[in-house]
């Protein structure tokens, strides 16, 4: 228990990713398999449901601490967390902590409580408290009240386990999927070196593109090129191999469980198929705003209601593997033709979820440029231009594939808040911007990128010299600086004071030639919104 509580403390004490991974690695290097299995169970956000009623726990804690109820209440108010309040109030009995293993604590000292009578429960709880130190009590209290949570992402756990075992991240991620029981066998299998399952799940590296930074005509004949809309969703690879399906996001997260409709549709794909595409929120033959997709990203379990409100599709771009054969070196036009054949053979329901991204035909670059003006109303970011003869490459090579994005919408706005990032940097780098509304500045967007290091230092100086008030890491500053902000899309929002939410806001440049009176108005932004939709 001691090692696990030390791990919890270490994770709780730092916001730095590397230190978190380091702490997890340190734990697993020495942990017994049974303990390690439980640790993974907890670290990956799983938890047993509540075992003991909080009211009971509270009552017993107050009795043992000899604290009257009202004083317990006052203490709870000051701490804000019941498990912690109890841990802090209980008399110190064992400052050394418990050397019994985590698995023992969970399986023998925690789970059995569920079946006990109240009197036996009380006795067992008190006994547990006597054996644990303050931090362990806190963790254990959280366990029995079903509220244990560790602030790490699954991908950090995967990274650490990969580091400990020398097994690829993809394999670990795959093996952690679905339902499993936290026991010795599970952990030994997880770190099993034989990688029969590895080849099944492994995605290909993605082929990415640069923004076109020269005149279109220099690409040559338009007939050598394929133009597709550049969709704004999550780039993904759908793998169907050995009777199993895997959906990987470009961030190399296994997201199969987040998008059950895609996984289900994939069951109809022939074995040995890999598709490249974009996950998009899609309803009534139309793409929904990205914000809708975000509602589905953040969650572990997707409710029925959300599935109905925000259905997703995989809009397929490319075919990377067919019949188990690596197709990446074949020409795009050949891959594309096979892709369409496969998708057309799917049953009706699956066809609705696995669609192909349409190709836009134009006789000349001029005509294509004109069509590009429809981008905003189609809720896309412009075009992807791909050479018909191109293979599917690795990384972000120049030459064959280009992003040809539309110019962002722009607004001149005034900086009113600044926030520091990263303790080491201790620079003010995140800003909130406002526009005019009836003579008042209303906040409308936050942005943190787009300035040079030198400019950031100048703004940092400005923030320190012009602070009005400090709220924790945030400072309100005198309205003096004007910046040109760019963003990709704009939407109505009841959650924002300004009534609008913008997508991908960033600083295009510092307008030190402008006064705050020259900044845009909320009206102008609302007009943009109307024009957009």
Partner 1 sequence: MRLIKPTERGLYVEPGDFYIDPWLPVERAVLTHAHADHTYRGSKNYLVSKEGERLFRTRLWNEGNIETASYGETKKLNGVKVSLHPAGHVLGSAQVRVEYKGEVWVASGDYKLTYDPTCAAFEPVKCHAFITEATFGLPIYRWTKPEILFEEVNEWWRGNVEKGKATVIFAYSLGKAQRIMKSVDASIGKIFTHGAVERLTRDYREMGVELPPTRYVGEVENRKDFAGSLIIAPPSAQDTPWTRRFGAHSTGFASGWMRIRGARRRRAVDRGIILSDHADWDELLTAINATEAEQIWVTHGSIETVVKYLKSIGKEARPLETKFVGDAPEAEISDEKEPDNHNLQ
Residues that bind partner 1 (CB under 8 A): 12-15, 65, 67-68, 70-71, 74-75, 78-81, 84-85, 88-89, 92, 95, 138, 420, 423-424, 426, 472-473
C-beta of 13: minimal distance to partner 1 in Å? 6
The whole-angstrom separation of Cα 178 and Cα 455 is 48
Minimum CB distance to partner 1 smaller for 73 or for 197: 73
Minimum CB distance to partner 1 smaller for 138 or for 401: 138
- Give just the sign of the alpha carbon dihedral 446, 448, 449, 452: positive
| Cα-trace Rg, the chain | 28
The whole-angstrom separation of Cα 493 and Cα 147 is 32
Minimum CB distance to partner 1 smaller for 427 or for 479: 427
DSSP 8-state assignment for residue 520: -
Minimum CB distance to partner 1 smaller for 342 or for 456: 456
Give DSSP secondary structure letters for 281-322. Answer: EEETTEEPPHHHHHHHHS-SS--HHHHHHS-EEEEEEEEEEE
Contact 80, 138 (CB under 8 A): no
Minimum CB distance to partner 1 smaller for 67 or for 306: 67
The whole-angstrom separation of Cα 438 and Cα 416 is 17
Minimum CB distance to partner 1 smaller for 323 or for 473: 473
C-beta of 85: minimal distance to partner 1 in Å? 7
The whole-angstrom separation of Cα 57 and Cα 83 is 9
DSSP 8-state assignment for residue 48: P
CA nearest neighbour of 238 among 315, 335, 168, 300: 315
Minimum CB distance to partner 1 smaller for 132 or for 173: 132
C-beta of 17: minimal distance to partner 1 in Å? 14
C-beta of 420: minimal distance to partner 1 in Å? 6
Tokens read off for 63:
């009795």
The whole-angstrom separation of Cα 72 and Cα 454 is 53
CA separation (Å) from 532 to 310, 406, 497, 525? 21, 13, 20, 10
C-beta of 79: minimal distance to partner 1 in Å? 6
C-beta of 50: minimal distance to partner 1 in Å? 21
The whole-angstrom separation of Cα 247 and Cα 273 is 12
C-beta of 152: minimal distance to partner 1 in Å? 15
The Cα diameter of the chain in Å comes to: 85
The whole-angstrom separation of Cα 284 and Cα 491 is 19
C-beta of 426: minimal distance to partner 1 in Å? 5
- Give just the sign of the alpha carbon dihedral 447, 451, 457, 461: negative
C-beta of 416: minimal distance to partner 1 in Å? 20
Number of neighbouring beta carbons within 10 Å of residue 1: 25
Tokens read off for 208:
């990415």
From its phi and psi, is residue 196 left (phi > 0), alpha (psi between -120 and 50) or beta?
alpha
Minimum CB distance to partner 1 smaller for 80 or for 439: 80
Residue carrying structure tokens 């079946």: 115
C-beta of 415: minimal distance to partner 1 in Å? 20
Contact 427, 459 (CB under 8 A): no
Minimum CB distance to partner 1 smaller for 398 or for 423: 423
C-beta of 434: minimal distance to partner 1 in Å? 24
Minimum CB distance to partner 1 smaller for 68 or for 112: 68
Minimum CB distance to partner 1 smaller for 130 or for 333: 130
Tokens read off for 502:
């913008």
């Amino acid at each position: 228990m001691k090692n696990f509580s030390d791990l919890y403390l270490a994770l709780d004490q730092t916001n730095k990713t590397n230190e978190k991974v380091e702490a997890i690695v340190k734990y697993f290097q020495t942990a017994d398999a049974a303990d390690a299995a439980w640790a993974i169970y907890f670290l990956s956000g799983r938890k047993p449901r509540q075992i003991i009623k909080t009211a009971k726990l509270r009552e017993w804690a107050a009795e043992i601490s000899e604290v009257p109820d009202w004083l317990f209440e006052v203490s709870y108010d000051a701490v804000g967390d019941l498990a912690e309040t109890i841990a802090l109030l209980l008399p110190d009995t064992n400052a050394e902590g418990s050397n019994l293993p985590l698995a023992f604590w969970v399986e023998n000292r925690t789970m059995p409580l569920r079946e006990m009578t109240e009197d036996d429960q009380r006795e067992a709880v008190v006994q547990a408290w006597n054996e644990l130190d303050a931090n362990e009590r806190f963790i254990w209290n959280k366990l029995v009240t079903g509220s244990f949570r560790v602030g790490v992402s699954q991908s950090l756990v995967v990274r650490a386990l990969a580091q400990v075992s020398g097994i690829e991240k993809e394999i670990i991620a795959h093996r952690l999927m679905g339902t499993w029981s936290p026991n010795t066998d599970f952990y030994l299998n997880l770190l099993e070196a034989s990688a029969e399952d590895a080849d099944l799940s492994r995605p290909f590296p993605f082929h990415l593109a640069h923004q076109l930074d020269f005149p279109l005509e220099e690409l040559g004949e338009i007939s050598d090129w394929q133009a597709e809309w550049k969709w704004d969703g999550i780039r993904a690879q759908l793998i169907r191999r050995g009777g199993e399906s895997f959906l990987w996001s470009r961030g190399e997260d296994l997201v199969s469980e987040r998008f059950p409709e895609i996984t289900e549709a994939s069951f109809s794909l022939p074995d040995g198929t890999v598709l490249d595409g974009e996950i998009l929120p899609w309803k009534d033959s139309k793409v929904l705003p990205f914000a809708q997709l975000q509602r589905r990203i953040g969650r572990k379990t997707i409710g029925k209601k959300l599935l109905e409100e925000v259905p997703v599709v995989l809009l397929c771009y490319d075919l990377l593997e067919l019949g188990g054969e690596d197709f990446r070196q074949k020409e795009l036009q050949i891959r594309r033709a096979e892709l369409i054949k496969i998708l057309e053979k799917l049953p009706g329901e699956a066809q609705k979820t696995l669609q192909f991204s349409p190709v836009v035909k134009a006789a000349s670059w001029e005509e294509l440029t004109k069509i590009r003006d429809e981008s905003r109303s189609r809720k896309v970011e412009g075009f992807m231009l791909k050479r018909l003869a191109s293979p599917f490459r690795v990384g972000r090579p120049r030459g064959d594939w280009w992003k040809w994005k539309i110019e962002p919408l722009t607004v001149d706005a005034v900086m009113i808040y600044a926030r520091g990032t990263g303790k080491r940097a201790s620079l003010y780098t995140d800003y909130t911007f406002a526009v005019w509304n009836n003579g008042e500045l209303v906040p409308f967007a936050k942005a943190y990128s787009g300035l040079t290091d030198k400019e950031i230092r100048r703004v940092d100086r400005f923030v320190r010299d012009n602070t009005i008030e400090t709220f924790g890491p945030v400072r309100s500053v005198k309205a003096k600086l004007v910046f040109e902000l760019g963003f990709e899309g704009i939407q109505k929002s009841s959650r924002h004071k300004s009534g609008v939410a913008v997508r991908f806001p960033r600083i295009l440049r510092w307008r030190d030639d402008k006064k705050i009176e020259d900044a845009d108005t909320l009206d102008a932004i609302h007009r943009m919104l109307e024009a957009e939709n």
